[in-house]
Amino acid sequence: MAQGGPDAAGRSGCGPAPRGSAAKLTVILKEGDGSTTPCKTRTMERVPETGEDVGIEAETSTGPLSAPEFLLDARAVMAAVETVIDGKRDVIELATTVLLAEGHLLVEDVPGVGKTMLARALARSVDCTVSRIQFTPDLLPSDITGVSVFNQAARDFEFKPGPVFANIVIGDEINRASPKTQSALLESMEERQVSVDGATYELPDPFTVIATQNPVEMEGTYALPEAQRDRFMARISMGYPDAANEASMLRQREQGSPLDRLRPVVTISRLQRMIRTVREVYVSPAVEQYVVAIAAGTRADRELRLGASPRATLQLVRAAKARAALDGRDFVLPDDIDALAVSVLAHRLMPAKSSGGYGREALADIAARIVQATPVPLGASGTA
The full 3-state SS of 78-135, as one line of letters, equals HHHHHCCCCCCHHHHHHHHHHHHCCCCEEEECCCCCCHHHHHHHHHHCEECCEEEEEC
Confidence of residue 220 (pLDDT cuts 50, 70, 90): low
pLDDT over 90 (residue 382): no
Percent of the chain with pLDDT over 90: 55
Least reliable range by pLDDT among 5-9, 233-237, 332-336: 5-9
Contact criterion met (CB below 8 Å) for 268 and 167: yes
- Strands (DSSP E) contained in the chain are 5-6, 12-13, 24-30, 39-45, 105-108, 126-127, 130-134, 146-151, 156-161, 168-172, 193-196, 199-202, 208-213, 234-236, 266-267, 304-306, 350-351
pTM: 0.80
Confidence of residue 48 (pLDDT cuts 50, 70, 90): very low
Q: How far is CA 273 from the centre of its chain?
A: 15
**Taking the domains of the chain in order of start, what are their residue ranges?**
84-261, 281-384
pLDDT tens column, 142-195: 999 999 898 888 888 889 999 999 999 999 999 888 888 888 899 999 999 999
State residue 154's pLDDT score: 85
Percent of the chain with pLDDT over 70: 80
pLDDT over 50 (residue 46): no
State residue 295's pLDDT score: 96
State residue 143's pLDDT score: 93
Question: Residues 338-364: what's their mean pLDDT?
Answer: 82
Question: Residues 318-347: what's their mean pLDDT?
Answer: 96
Contact criterion met (CB below 8 Å) for 312 and 348: yes
State residue 216's pLDDT score: 66
Read off the DSSP letter of residue 184.
G
pLDDT over 80 (residue 77): yes
**Alpha carbon distance 321, 127 (integer Å):** 24
CATH class of 281-384: mainly alpha
Fold of 84-261: Rossmann fold (3.40.50)
State residue 14's pLDDT score: 40
